Amino acid sequence: MAGATVIAPINDDTGAPNVDPLSPQDATELISLLDQLPVDELELSTERFTLSLRRTGTGWVSRTTVGSSTPDDQPVAAAAVAVPDGLVGVRSPLPGTFYRSPRPGTPPFVGDGDSVESDTVVGLVETMKLFTSVAAGAAGTLVEFCVPDATSVEQDAVVALVKP
Amino acid sequence: MSASEPGRIRRLLVANRGEIAVRVLRTCCRLGIEGVLTVTDADARSLPARLADRVVRVPSYLDVDAVVTAARTCDALHPGYGFLSENPALATACAAAGVRFVGPSAATLAAAGDKLAAREHAVAAGVPVLPGGPADSARAIAAEIGFPLLVKAVGGGGGRGMRRVADPASLDAALDEARAEAGAAFADRRLYLERLVDAGRHVEVQLLGDGVRVVHLGDRDCSVQRRYQKLLEEAPAPHLDARLRADMHAAAVALGEHLGYRGAGTVEFLVHADGFAFLEINARLQVEHPVTEAVTGLDLVAEQIAIAEGQPLRMAQDDVTVTGHAIECRLNAEDPDRGFAPSPGTVTDAAFPAGEGIRVDTHVQTGTAVTADYDSLLAKLIVHGPDRAQALRVLRDALARTTIDGIATTIGLHAAIVADPDFATGAVPTGWLPEPARA
């Protein structure tokens, strides 16, 4: 059985179908109505959405929020690693998913104990479908990797340690 | 079971995420169709998840089995763009499950997905192609077409597996790199070579077909690109010779008829000094379809759904009229000052322009987490005016009223493009926007 499970719609505690709270056409019609009135601002708040329309020098600005505007949870990234004295941290240039090999099923770029140059590629970080090489950044011996393969990492996170 | 009955679609699975999921759900709502959405854990709180009538969790948008299982209680499945949208396996699995696939037949998807096969279909339909051929005889083909040339992936587009090769000495290295990249991106290492046209324009023609009849909905210019990916599109393509434009429309329709095309699709062309040449066919709805909707007044998703219901095309070619000019800006989570580096993060404030002639398609609102897991498109700002000059004025003001705070975006770059005198004149070639250094 494939892994598809039905979960409740985020905003639906009544069991009734969700309805698009405000289509772009609705907003345009609302604005043509407001344009005929001495009104520069409209705030509308329902259980399902909030709409704020503000008139500026060049036209209207709209802010719509469906459901809560509380920031979404960000994915939990690997814990920060302290770099011991005498070692250099190899850092991820971008936030994303860190990979040790060029593609699944292929050998890693480098292994623990391998010697590296400053520009040796030790891994890839995938951010928004774009792959960026992670270079050792220092010549020496790659002591160990600090995060497992295919781990979510923050920008500048230490992914490996090099002994110069 | 409702899924196997012909006729109206009452419940549609939207097997996608982001702005296109919101856009397809909006048409469902307008047509009174129940909209069901697949979500991954990362998207469980997304705007489309908040708008859908029902939400089904899947481990990945690329998991054919999970997506088809999610569709079992639906009449039809809309794949959006990207992910599985052009994968013949999904169309075949839908048919086996009694779910209508809102898109072309599996055979058409296979023909369009293999870029060399698509080239051959273009030749068979009498559509001009650039000199080129498969990379297994790279030396001979390179000698025939000359340098610089372009190495391209047979398995897919999006700039992956694509390399510009300046001279014979760098051909082997470019082939190795492109082969590795194509293998990783499309699980297909095959490459082909084509003559490189440096000062060309990317112009494409929108098609609708019902398997019998094919009409075109005019053209779009998508020449403003970075890394072979589109940043800004407009309809119609500015300053195109009337005869050339008509020939391109006719060529696209001829290819559509040759394929017995069913659904919405796009034929991409390169316009060069001596005419035009076929690039590829995209057998799905495209990101930039709203500019065509703006100038034709049609809802392409509604037409796709009608075709999937088995209805004949609801318009004749003469019914299609292009009115005014439309421009779309892709607002991406990328930092143009750092080589378009991706910039995931949390949106702390999202405000968009609104009013006559302005449309914003987005899944972003204040509080949205833009994760590193998916592509960087945040919103599409589409403007429509009576002519290009007026559309540009609306766009300039609209961009000034657009705010997406908390992450780096391409809003400022778009403002600079729109203010540029060359762009204002129109008809810039594909290399016009300087390429960022390759990471």
The answer to whether residue B23 neighbours chain A at the CB level (below 8 Å) is no
Q: Which residues of B touch A21 (CB under 8 A)?
A: 51
Q: Do B56 and A5 touch (CB under 8 A)?
A: yes
Q: Which residues of A touch B50 (CB under 8 A)?
A: 9-11, 18, 66-67
> If residue A143 lies in a helix (H) or strand (E), which one and from where to where?
strand A140-145
* Residue A11 confidence (pLDDT): 45
Q: Which residues of B touch A45 (CB under 8 A)?
A: none
Q: What is the ipTM of this complex?
A: 0.89
Amino acid letter, residue A9:
P
Q: Do A95 and B344 touch (CB under 8 A)?
A: yes
Buried b (16+ CB within 10 A) or exposed e, A10-33: bbbeeeeebebbbebeebbebbee
Of B257, B267, B156, which is closest to residue B220 (Cα–Cα)? B267
* Residue B201 confidence (pLDDT): 96
pTM exceeding the 0.90 threshold for the entire prediction:
yes
The string of pLDDT tens digits covering residues B62-113 is 999 999 999 999 999 999 999 999 999 999 999 999 999 999 999 999 999 9
Q: Which residues of B touch A32 (CB under 8 A)?
A: 356
Whether a cis peptide bond, with omega within 30° of 0, leads into A75 is no
pLDDT band at A47 (very low <50, low <70, confident <90, very high): confident
Residue B249: CB atoms within 10 A of its CB come to 20
Nearest to B52 among A9, A56, A131 (CB): A9
Q: Which residue of B has its CA nearest to A103?
A: B184
- Minimal Cα–Cα distance from B206 to chain A, Å? 23
The answer to whether residue B98 neighbours chain A at the CB level (below 8 Å) is no
B284 in active site: yes
- Minimal Cα–Cα distance from A85 to chain B, Å? 30
Active-site residue identified among B17, B284, B330, B359: B284
Round to whole Å and give the CA distance between A82 and B140.
Answer: 55
Q: Do B376 and A128 touch (CB under 8 A)?
A: yes
Q: Do B398 and A133 touch (CB under 8 A)?
A: no
- Report whether pLDDT(A17) > 60: no
The answer to whether residue B299 neighbours chain A at the CB level (below 8 Å) is no
Instruction: Quote the mean pLDDT of chain B.
Output: 94
The string of pLDDT tens digits covering residues B261-320 is 999 999 999 999 999 999 999 999 999 999 999 999 999 999 999 999 999 999 999 999
The string of pLDDT tens digits covering residues B262-273 is 999 999 999 999
